[in-house]
Amino acid sequence: MIKLTKLNGKSFALNAWLIEQVEETPDTMVTLNNGKKLIVTETMEQVILLCKEFYTSIHQEKR
């Protein structure tokens, strides 16, 4: 799970496996594989970094 922030300032955790696409329009919109779209305050680069950190942590746990 990665921690993101809604536009109203509330934090939430998102299952990174569900992310299909991230784009800036100019707000950062995260599209999930079920078609649902979420707008977050983080930049696209921040979301990508959070996902990389999540996947790295999963890989390290299996060692």
The total of other beta-carbon atoms located within 10 Å of residue 28's CB is: 20
Beta bridge partners of 16: none
Q: Give the pTM.
A: 0.89
pLDDT of the residue at 31:
98
pLDDT of the residue at 58:
86
Residuewise pLDDT in 10s, the chain (63 residues): 999 999 999 999 999 999 999 999 999 999 999 999 999 999 999 999 999 999 999 887 666
pLDDT of the residue at 8:
97
- CATH assignment of 2-61? 2.40.50
Task: Assign 56 to helix, strand or coil.
Answer: helix
pLDDT of the residue at 63:
60
Phi, psi of 43 (to 5 degrees): -75, 165
